[in-house]
Amino acid sequence: MKKGVVMPSANLPLFINNELVASQSDQSIPVTNPATQEVLTKVPEATDAEMEQAINDAQNAFYQWRDVPPPERARLMMVFQQLLKSHHDELAEILSQETGKTFADAKGDVWRGIEVVEQACNIPSLLMGETAENVAGGIDTYSYMQPLGVCAGITPFNFPAMIPLWMFPMAIACGNAFVLKPSEQDPMTPMRIAELFAGAGFPPGLLQVVHGRKAQVDHLLRHPLIKALSFVGSVPVAQYIYRTGTSHLKRVQAFAGAKNHMVVMPDADKAQVISNLVGSSVGAAGQRCMAISVAVFVGESADWITDLQQAMAKVKPGFWNDESAGFGPLISPQAKERVLGLIAQGKHEGAQCLLDGSDCRVADYPDGNWVGPTLFSGVTADMTIYREEIFGPVLLCMHVNSLDDAIQLINQNPYGNGTSIFTSSGLSARHFQHYIEVGQVGINVPIPVPLPFFSFTGWKQSFYGDQHAYGKQAVRFYTETKTITARWFDPGMAATPNMTIQMR
């Protein structure tokens, strides 16, 4: 590890007021390398007193930060994004160690987060309000976007760089302070990012990082100083976060599960379809909410499944620094057992398992949480493997007769995170994008995650809330609009009674 990297130790510290602070907690959680089961560090479960300190100090920092002009905030963000870029590979190596991601995949995780920080550098223009002159005689109306106070984020294991960077840079650029509770499974990457944030010159207290489990999450959900909370995770937890947070009168954006379909039309480019299906289904071991988990073959395109099977069989998992590896292990033994259980259930319910990764082994790493590429065909909508999010390197194949049948199948699914269509027909693509009830649509793009000047816009049970992540919607989420109606009197004019009805 390079100088300054969060080194493995008995307990990972908290990040309070720009300093690494040893927790006083006697409860900790091991962080393991999922390819070896080596314990890298332990995460303390922050005490109530430490949670209170983090939140209260963030509130004090907010009182000063909200008055810092947006251009000055943007300049600090520019320094931060440059530090992230200069430490890009270092962050990716830490990330690979604790998630098992291949180095190439880890670098992509870091880079997509950097892109959001670059968007936060545009905050002066993003905070521009509206104005209308002379809405009535001598009266002008205009609006400002002002920060909320202390915001919080609860992030998942699968993108420990990108998703924290979805949240706190935009919130802080808007003038807020932020308390981050990263996943207890891979907290070393967010901690190193926090160190770089402090190194950019931001005032102490704007970003606080605490660790723990449900008790610490509940503390954030119920604390009166937390004004808004962002979350990414599973559907049951997202529902809990949303209900609990809103019941405590907070703004909440909760990104949840997915079941993303790729529609394959007979007129699509076969080689492109197969290549993109393989990468989008097993990349990152399928542990991403925008992974393609269902291929819907329309008409004669179903004949391509054999070629798909052969292509998937060539992809092998491996250790993070193995350049020939297509993906890494699952995050934990529990995650592996869950995926293996769903594969077994799929076989039991009658799906045809064309490629089975259940007994995957990787040389020199016998203890890794390995699952190989797995391909099912003959899947129906009532099967467990279709109804549940598998979150592993498993691709399901379904066959329909027409594009409208594919649209109906997808629209009936309770999730609406992402979908895509591969076709050479502009008419088919336009018909699909218009009628599909999914928030993010790709046309000959398998994983349509938008760049940060747009917003990440899942629908249905993939998202709970009103404003989405990054982009303009994040600015709206992390700010409150204040509308001013102003009139200036001529000192030489005589005052007359105002008998008009005032708006309430």
Active site residues: 289
CB burial readout 237-261, b (16+ within 10 A) else e: bbebbbebbbeeebbbbbbbbbbbb
Asked whether 193 and 217 are in contact (CB, 8 A), the reply is: no
d(CA 8, CA 244): 34
Dist CA 109 CA 190 (whole Å): 12
Handedness of CA 301, 307, 312, 313 (dihedral sign): positive
User: b/e for 314-342, b at 16 or more Cβ within 10 A?
Assistant: ebbbbbbebeebbbbbbbbeebbebbbeb
Q: Which residues pair with 181 in a beta bridge?
A: 154
Per the document, the length of the chain is: 504
Q: Which two tokens stand for residue 133?
A: 């002159």
Tokens representing 72 are 């000055």
Q: For residue 342, report the phi and psi dihedrals to the nearest 5 degrees.
A: -70, -35
